[in-house]
Chain A
């Protein structure tokens, strides 16, 4: 599985729709979910570099942010604004406070999903 992910990343992805595109066509998804997919999804969906790194550091069960049940709002906000480990920081231009609040709300709702 891991090899397959890497090879997919290393070669051209002919005909594969982007995660951003999936985010834009989220259908019935909440605004928070769509924002998560657009801004965070390039690294933090299945097969993404962030998911891969978290899997190594915290175990596979904690790799996918969308299924985590321990993501406190302050922690998410701090990670986004201050960066964490190899993750770059997001400015308020790239991710305004109001949008970040919706992402925090979405990730905080994993308990009920």
Chain B
């Protein structure tokens, strides 16, 4: 595709920088052909791919090479967009927020530096994928479990840096980060927490260190390039007890939230609970035309047909108890009792034990959920709108009602999942579209804008968003005249005066490119 340059840089200037990068990595790892650029575009973009097109990519193999490239980027005023494996599908993939950035592809840095069975942690480089780490654990029969997101193709580190999550006890992936090695925007190397000692041995074991605790500063930000990360891994439990239930009506979500959140808060349920709508089973196994040929959002009668054919409820969830079988059984009784006060619907129970199975068990990575992009056929795409709500049944049902209304108005099929914790609910609304249907993508953009606005009016915002909406979502954090933005950008300018790292990420713009806010 046509070369798109970053603002203020000539093609000659870019080429000089790329030649300098090649001096660090070798020419093979500076990717600058038309085809190379295209491989970093957002394959599921809801609009024009060129809005987030890179000018090239460079792929260092070591931390020292990252440092050298970052220093050269300062010298040549070339903005970089770091990626781990570039599988941030639905949020922009490998593409940069600002067009013309050079992708800093860390996919060659894929060493699993340590897996500590005794203390339950690993230390990994950015290119390590969930498949890699899973294979490592399974092939060595190490009794540690991964927590894997819906798209298991991505990077362990990259997903944590985006605050990815999953319905497991260690499912808040950003919260499992413990200790980092970071290349700062000037090229200096930093280690955080206890790892900041030259001889520090407890970096991956203690979150905070001494004084300010910086790990989270590098999450969903553009303040450094993380080159190593400690992550906590869950010890494999002796046994699990699973309790599944199907709920028949959309409004059942309200009482479910009111029953589940206290169980989660009290630790009886110790994982995020995924409550999945009936559409999930249809989008993962069939196409829209199998169910409905008409215009507009799927009517309720079609949803009922999906439920009947797939034997699913309007909502579906599974609670899992982990650990000693006797404790699991006792907690299951407490859960049964709490539910009995609200419903006579039955649980389907399943049990698993390490001893009986003869395996370590645990979640395996997979990519089957990506099937959803085939819903309309052709070149499909998806983005998510995922506000954070209070775990209050009445408020959650009101949010559901308003969201479904907006989907209907836009003529887009509603597909929602609610992830319930003790103190919050994350509501992931999947927006699936045909990228070659200009009218549909236009309606999707309108729908997204309406959802951001409605949620902000109710006091909710997203936990993560697609590149194209980062400024829009960041703008909803508007207390005291956007005091948070001022802080974020004061820090950005102090650390990165040339603005070379990921300009615009999560709405944080360096002074050099601040005029780009709201574009693209």
A contacts, CB < 8 Å to B: 2-3, 5-6, 9-21, 24-25, 42-43, 48-49, 52-53, 56, 81-83, 85-86, 88-94
- Chain B, residue nearest A42 (CB): B367
A14 with B361: CB separation less than 8 A: yes
Q: Bound complex: CA of A89 vs CA of B367, how far in Å? A: 15
CB contacts (< 8 Å) of A89 on chain B: these are 38-39, 41, 43
- Chain B, residue nearest A41 (CB): B131
Is residue B466 contacting chain A, with contact meaning CB distance below 8 A?
no
- Chain A, residue nearest B129 (CB): A20
CB contacts (< 8 Å) of B379 on chain A: these are 85-86
Q: Which 6 pairs from chain A and chain B are nearest by CB? A: A9-B368, A15-B359, A91-B39, A20-B131, A13-B364, A86-B373
Return the contact of B138 from the options A21, A52, A93 (Cβ within 8 A).
A21
Chain B 91-120 near chain A by CB (<8 Å), digits 1 or 0: 001100000000001011000000000000
Total A-B residue pairs with C-beta atoms closer than 8 Å?
A: 121
Q: Bound complex: CA of A106 vs CA of B367, how far in Å? A: 23
A21 with B357: CB separation less than 8 A: no
CB contacts (< 8 Å) of B318 on chain A: these are 11
CB contacts (< 8 Å) of B39 on chain A: these are 81, 89-92
Q: Bound complex: CA of A22 vs CA of B36, how far in Å? A: 30
A92 with B43: CB separation less than 8 A: no
Q: Bound complex: CA of A78 vs CA of B33, how far in Å? A: 15
B359 with A6: CB separation less than 8 A: no
A86 with B35: CB separation less than 8 A: no
CB contacts (< 8 Å) of B240 on chain A: these are 14
CB contacts (< 8 Å) of A52 on chain B: these are 371
B352 with A88: CB separation less than 8 A: no
Shortest distance from the beta carbon of B81 to any chain A beta carbon, whole Å: 13
B370 with A86: CB separation less than 8 A: yes
A13-B364, A13-B366, A18-B138 are known contacts. Are A93 and B29 too (CB-CB below 8 A)? yes
Chain B 361-391 near chain A by CB (<8 Å), digits 1 or 0: 1111111111101100011100000000000
A18-B138, A56-B374 are known contacts. Are A93 and B285 too (CB-CB below 8 A)? no
Given contacts A6-B285, A93-B108, 16 further A-B contacts (CB under 8 A): A13-B364, A14-B352, A14-B359, A14-B361, A14-B363, A18-B134, A42-B366, A52-B371, A56-B374, A86-B380, A91-B86, A91-B94, A92-B39, A93-B59, A94-B85, A94-B107
15 pairs from A and B in contact (CB 8 Å cutoff): A6-B285, A10-B284, A13-B363, A15-B360, A18-B365, A20-B134, A20-B135, A24-B139, A49-B371, A82-B35, A86-B370, A88-B89, A90-B39, A91-B40, A91-B105
Name the residue among A20, A85, A93 with the largest chain B CB count within 10 angstroms. A93
- Chain B, residue nearest A15 (CB): B359
A13-B364, A16-B364 are known contacts. Are A93 and B370 too (CB-CB below 8 A)? no
Q: Bound complex: CA of A56 vs CA of B107, how far in Å? A: 32
- Chain A, residue nearest B358 (CB): A15
CB contacts (< 8 Å) of B131 on chain A: these are 18-20, 42
CB contacts (< 8 Å) of A83 on chain B: these are 43
A21 with B378: CB separation less than 8 A: no
Shortest distance from the beta carbon of B145 to any chain A beta carbon, whole Å: 10
A18 with B31: CB separation less than 8 A: no
Name the residue among B85, B135, B363 with the largest chain A CB count within 10 angstroms. B135
A6 with B284: CB separation less than 8 A: yes
Return the contact of B287 from the options A14, A17, A56 (Cβ within 8 A).
A56
Is residue B467 contacting chain A, with contact meaning CB distance below 8 A?
no
How many B residues have CB within 8 A of the partner chain?
57
Q: Bound complex: CA of A86 vs CA of B5, how far in Å? A: 28
Shortest distance from the beta carbon of A77 to any chain B beta carbon, whole Å: 10
A93 with B134: CB separation less than 8 A: no
A2-B285, A43-B367 are known contacts. Are A82 and B38 too (CB-CB below 8 A)? yes
Shortest distance from the beta carbon of A27 to any chain B beta carbon, whole Å: 14
- Chain A, residue nearest B41 (CB): A89
B31 with A91: CB separation less than 8 A: yes
CB contacts (< 8 Å) of A13 on chain B: these are 363-364, 366
Is residue B315 contacting chain A, with contact meaning CB distance below 8 A?
no
Is residue B202 contacting chain A, with contact meaning CB distance below 8 A?
no
CB contacts (< 8 Å) of B357 on chain A: these are 14-15
- Chain B, residue nearest A82 (CB): B38
Q: Bound complex: CA of A94 vs CA of B310, how far in Å? A: 37
B363 with A12: CB separation less than 8 A: yes
Shortest distance from the beta carbon of A34 to any chain B beta carbon, whole Å: 13
B35 with A81: CB separation less than 8 A: yes
Shortest distance from the beta carbon of A47 to any chain B beta carbon, whole Å: 8
CB contacts (< 8 Å) of A20 on chain B: these are 131-132, 134-135
Shortest distance from the beta carbon of A51 to any chain B beta carbon, whole Å: 11
CB contacts (< 8 Å) of B17 on chain A: these are none
Q: Bound complex: CA of A24 vs CA of B284, how far in Å? A: 28
Q: Bound complex: CA of A25 vs CA of B38, how far in Å? A: 33
A9 with B366: CB separation less than 8 A: yes
CB contacts (< 8 Å) of B284 on chain A: these are 6, 9-10
Q: Bound complex: CA of A53 vs CA of B36, how far in Å? A: 26
Shortest distance from the beta carbon of B306 to any chain A beta carbon, whole Å: 13
Is residue B70 contacting chain A, with contact meaning CB distance below 8 A?
no
- Chain B, residue nearest A85 (CB): B379
Q: Bound complex: CA of A6 vs CA of B149, how far in Å? A: 17
- Chain A, residue nearest B362 (CB): A14
CB contacts (< 8 Å) of A48 on chain B: these are 367-368
Q: Bound complex: CA of A3 vs CA of B107, how far in Å? A: 35
Return the contact of B374 from the options A14, A53, A94 (Cβ within 8 A).
A53
Return the contact of B36 from the options A12, A21, A92 (Cβ within 8 A).
A92
CB contacts (< 8 Å) of B367 on chain A: these are 42-43, 48-49
- Chain A, residue nearest B364 (CB): A13
CB contacts (< 8 Å) of A17 on chain B: these are 138, 364
CB contacts (< 8 Å) of A49 on chain B: these are 367-368, 370-371
CB contacts (< 8 Å) of A86 on chain B: these are 370, 373-374, 379-380
